[in-house]
A and B are shown apart, each in its own frame.
Chain A
């Protein structure tokens, strides 16, 4: 008795095996006859995502199809995973725009800080999760790809849920 043994006090005269087995069989048979199939049949059925879901990014665009990003550099600064690469540029009118904007979705931890910090509401985390790729390089999203994403963006907090405040 080297280890602590917990002795469960069972009244030996009232325990049974056969009758308990029959009870168990009745239960499983009940489920067999009337299974409450709760499995979501994934590719055909999909569960609704939360409004606060943070998935792969999306860059919003202005009406003339350019990225809203002004290359202020806040998102690479705030990014805890250091996954955003940004090289700012400036056109002849003095408008700043990103020369290079890449997000490594493999390094990203989907915290949503980039969306929260963005003054132009340009970069967003998206409500999206089907993003498998065949190579690691495929996970580095450049600006064109970020702008081409069409999935809904995250709201980061749900106005209907007071706990999100």
Chain B
């Protein structure tokens, strides 16, 4: 399966350092400016969805992020008297950095064979890229938990607690949902996951269920609606950042958007082919010109922006989950589903392996791979089961599904007879 990996002559250390620094500066700048503009995009999109205008005063609305930033820098930084100051200051940084660091291993364009050697369009082409992402993205919860704890405020603490429970729960489902991707790619390097998708078709076609689980978990990981329980304005007064003001508050805000961009980048890379251009192998083969790099970069940006838009779209469509719904969705639905899916995909891949069908093609040309067709067929069956059979009141359960059957009957009878429910001894 790994015959598409090409080994390029290594660069000199000096050139490697120089290009890495250039890439870092460019990526960081684009990323931060993008995040700033995303705050504007979010406000505009939410406004249009709610039949409003959105920000349209500061430079026709375009300078709104700059105005917001200026405001937050000028504002007074308040420190609650009872807060534990070192962690209180550290928390915004801790929630922001993991999102930024994760971006280092995501390949954002096709490599460029420049006259100075092959330049990978990724900040750090780690061979363990995927494991790095799992490791770093779970650090993001520390910022929120520490913010909640060090604020010494009951709402902030509740927000931090909810966040830790939520992130721990969904981290598992998220990790499990990506195992099928790794099974197909046979590697944890993100560059090779992208290359594998270029040859075998995007993972979203072969592994729709895994994408579905990953997407839900990504929403939960980024604390976006419908999973924004750590913030929960109506219940917890914005939860963990209740006590934060000025630029420290802004850091949490930036962190949320940075997380969103990173999660979008991951979804694009793991399931939507990364920088791959669909229906052509032109972008994946030599010569690796600058033109290819630029165009694939454009495609990658489009995919990421689509998912960012999807994040916002979902946010302004769905209300927040109840806490028990959140937990039961994570532990009783997503985790078993992800585990079952690993078993199924592993069995299918093993079956294809045993039958020796890798690299077999049917029909004219080398287009229709037998293995691909089998995977697609399995995927269609599973999608039907998930979206038409399982999605019958089993994904998000109503409140009364937690009750004992006889309690439910009793309550129903009472509410039908309009008898006020009275307290029972021991309740």
Which residues of chain A have a CB within 8 Å of any CB of chain B?
Answer: 1-19, 21, 24-25, 27-29, 31-32, 35-39, 41
Given the known interface contacts A12-B392, A31-B49, A35-B52, the answer about A2 and B387 at a Cβ–Cβ threshold of 8 Å is no
Q: How far apart are A145's CB and chain B's nearest CB, in angstroms? A: 32
B1 within 8 A of A: no
Is B420 engaged at the interface, CB distance under 8 Å to the other chain?
yes
Q: Which of A1, A12, A36 has the most chain B CB within a 10 Å cutoff?
A: A1
Cα of A143 to Cα of B366 in the assembled complex, Å = 94
Contact B392 A32 (CB under 8 A): no
Nearest chain A residue, comparing its CB with the CB of B423:
A2
Residue in chain B with minimal CB distance to A24: B317
- B64 to A: closest C-beta gap in Å: 16
26 A-B contact pairs sorted by A residue (CB < 8 Å): A1-B421, A2-B427, A3-B421, A5-B411, A5-B421, A7-B400, A7-B408, A7-B411, A7-B412, A8-B398, A10-B398, A12-B392, A12-B393, A14-B392, A14-B393, A15-B392, A16-B391, A17-B395, A18-B395, A24-B317, A31-B50, A31-B51, A32-B48, A35-B49, A37-B53, A38-B51
Q: Is the CB of B407 closer than 8 A to any CB of chain A? A: yes
Residue B412 contacts which of A9, A19, A37 (CB distance < 8 angstroms)? A9
CB pair A28–B393 under 8 Å, yes or no, is: no
Complex Cα spacing A8 to B393, Å? 14
We find that the number of chain B residues with CB closer than 8 angstroms to chain A is 33
Binding site for A on B (CB under 8 A): 45, 47-53, 56, 313-314, 316-318, 387, 391-393, 395-396, 398, 400-401, 407-408, 411-412, 415, 420-421, 423-424, 427
The interface residues of chain A lying within 8 Å CB-to-CB of B412 are 7, 9
- The reply to whether B393 and A25 contact each other, CB–CB distance below 8 Å, is no
Q: Which residue of the partner chain, among A15, A27, A28, contacts B398 with CB atoms under 8 Å?
A: A15
Q: What residue in chain B is nearest A35 (Cβ atoms)?
A: B48
Which one of B52, B314, B318, B423 lies within 8 Å of A39 (CB-CB)?
A: B52
Partner of B49, one of A6, A13, A17, A32: A32
Q: Nearest CB to that of A25 among chain B residues?
A: B317
Residue of B nearest to A9 (CB): B412
Residue of A nearest to B390 (CB): A18
Nearest to A6 among chain B residues (CB) is B415
